[in-house]
Chains A and B, each alone.
Chain A
Amino acid sequence: MAQLEVTGIETAYGMSTVLFGLSLEVGEGQVVGLLGRNGVGKTTTFRSIMGLTPPRTGSIRWNGTEITGKPPHEINRLGIGFVPEDRRIFPELTVWENLDIAMRAGRRASTWTLDKVYELFPDLVGLRDRKGGYLSGGQQQMLTIARSLMGNPELLLLDEPSEGLAPLVVRDLRHQIARMRDEGLSILLAEQNLGFVLALSDRVYILEKGEVKFSGRSDEVRDNPEIIKRYLTV
């Protein structure tokens, strides 16, 4: 049994259906990539899992328990953290306050504390008392990941973390995500940056128009220009 099992979900915004029977799995401690061009439904998949835009049909099981229909805060407390693509820092709260409100003890042996989160993102230490709204894009991205870690999730949904960041910052971020993986965190990683995903993930799913069009090991994609051309190049 995989840690997260999404089976045949259909999700709509009002009248327009966006996901058409999407299925995917994430195993414990795995990094799984979610690839696809703009608008294929990556963010919607995350919103469905988090309960922010619950699916109309299909099932989402977390450690074997059905979680569809539960409110987002309960889903988070069960161990799923969400890092949205637009970052959503609380702009009027300081960096420390942003971290503090998300703090919750986890059920795993290795837990993220404020010190450990600062150690992974040392840039945040000096910014502790600055308001979130005054951070740069890269700093906001660090803070939004750090904030999710404070809730000690077992699975992290990372939505396009490298988007809009300078190459050096992206490199740091890749190391940081690798460290999180090494700490035993499962990660579902949506990205447009193919190299970034392939460097981190064990498996990938490629979406098109709200459906999974390809799933397989990361090296299968790396060695297959046909797939890359068909589903990923713009």
Chain B
Amino acid sequence: MLNNPTILFVQFMNGLSFGLTLFIIAAGLTLILGVLRVLNFAHGAFFMIGGYVTFSLVNWLPASFPGAFWLSVIGAAIVLGAMAWVIERTMLRRLYDRDHLPQLLFTFALVLLAEDLVKVAWGTSVLSVSFPPGFKKAVDLGISYYPSYRLFLCVIGTVIAVALWYVVNRTRMGRLVRAATQDREMLESLGINVGRIYMMVFVAGVALAGLGGGLAAPATSLTVGMDAEIIVQCFIIVIIGGMGSLPGAFLGALILGQLNAFGVMLVPAFELVLIYLMMVAVLMFRPWGLLGHKEVQ
């Protein structure tokens, strides 16, 4: 197996597309953690709802409608962003000044609500979304054929990573977001409505989870429990990469993607153990993650 370059290449590509898809979701999680200091347990649930909303929109739009799938994915991101806006304005903002425990309980309550919502609205049977037109076949990459939709996931994950890097490092909004993570009170004193920045970050982070859910939908199957697996993987990515660090999440997602792909091949059924070992190893040498900063207060 290991000396078959075609298999190695395909596994590498699987790891890459899985990792880059995970990045889209983990990016939102790490942004919310870095800026709001809230560990959002519900992030996987938002991802799941993104998938289901995409499913419904795809089925609701006439099949002949041009770009139906893409519109549905964007629609899912917007629906999730709107949900996040309501949650932030009515509930979450009251918890920023509280301990971590009420925040954790709150986001955990959202998980339970989301799972029930999915059961009521979409039922418990497994649903699937088909590949969008033009992405149903495999393309020749020289070494091997590879499914074009998975290739597309690699591209979109990279595009989103670059776009996020640009916004955070090269725009005024990004500067404000970074300042908000460093000293909220000082930023307020300089005339910035930090509460609004928190709201925008939460909406953007949850919309990314919804977008990730929509984009992942054709490559996976929609089930009620799909959020649990994703949230664990995203937590691991954020811990490996460094809490609140976007480049860290990118690196963590790539590592987790490869470990997952080759773990499945080398130690089937134990690939999760491999991932946990990796996390422990990173934490032993860099407790604040690969690209994270030590907290100095």
Are A151 and B191 in contact, CB atoms less than 8 angstroms apart?
Answer: yes
Interface residue range, chain B: 10 to 19
1/0 per residue B173-190: CB within 8 Å of A?
Answer: 001101100110111111
Are B172 and A101 in contact, CB atoms less than 8 angstroms apart?
Answer: yes
Are B190 and A93 in contact, CB atoms less than 8 angstroms apart?
Answer: no
| CB of A179 closer than 8 Å to a CB of B | no
1/0 per residue B33-57: CB within 8 Å of A?
Answer: 0000000000000000000000000
**CA distance in complex: A90, B182 (Å):** 6
Are A93 and B189 in contact, CB atoms less than 8 angstroms apart?
Answer: no
Q: Which residues of B contact A147 (CB under 8 A)?
A: 190
Are A90 and B179 in contact, CB atoms less than 8 angstroms apart?
Answer: yes
A-side interface residues, number (CB < 8 Å): 22
**A144: nearest residue on chain B (CB-CB)?**
B186
| CB of A50 closer than 8 Å to a CB of B | yes
A158 to chain B, nearest CB (A): 13
Main secondary structure of the interface of B (DSSP, over half): helix
Q: Which residues of B contact A90 (CB under 8 A)?
A: 178-179, 182-183, 186-187
Are B190 and A151 in contact, CB atoms less than 8 angstroms apart?
Answer: yes
Q: Which residues of B contact A97 (CB under 8 A)?
A: 175, 178-179
Are B191 and A104 in contact, CB atoms less than 8 angstroms apart?
Answer: yes
Q: Which residues of A contact B178 (CB under 8 A)?
A: 90, 92-93, 97
| CB of A213 closer than 8 Å to a CB of B | no
1/0 per residue A63-102: CB within 8 Å of B?
Answer: 0000000011100110000101000101111000100111
A76 to chain B, nearest CB (A): 4
**CA distance in complex: A148, B187 (Å):** 11
A-side interface residues toward B, CB under 8 Å? 50, 52, 71-73, 76-77, 82, 84, 88, 90-93, 97, 100-102, 104, 147-148, 151
Listed A/B pairs (5) with beta-carbon separation below 8 Å: A73-B190, A73-B194, A76-B189, A101-B187, A151-B191
Other than A73-B188, A90-B182, A97-B179, give 15 A-B pairs with Cβ distance below 8 A: A50-B189, A52-B188, A73-B189, A73-B193, A88-B183, A88-B185, A88-B186, A90-B183, A93-B178, A93-B179, A97-B175, A100-B172, A100-B175, A101-B175, A148-B190
B-side interface residues toward A, CB under 8 Å? 172, 175-176, 178-179, 182-183, 185-194
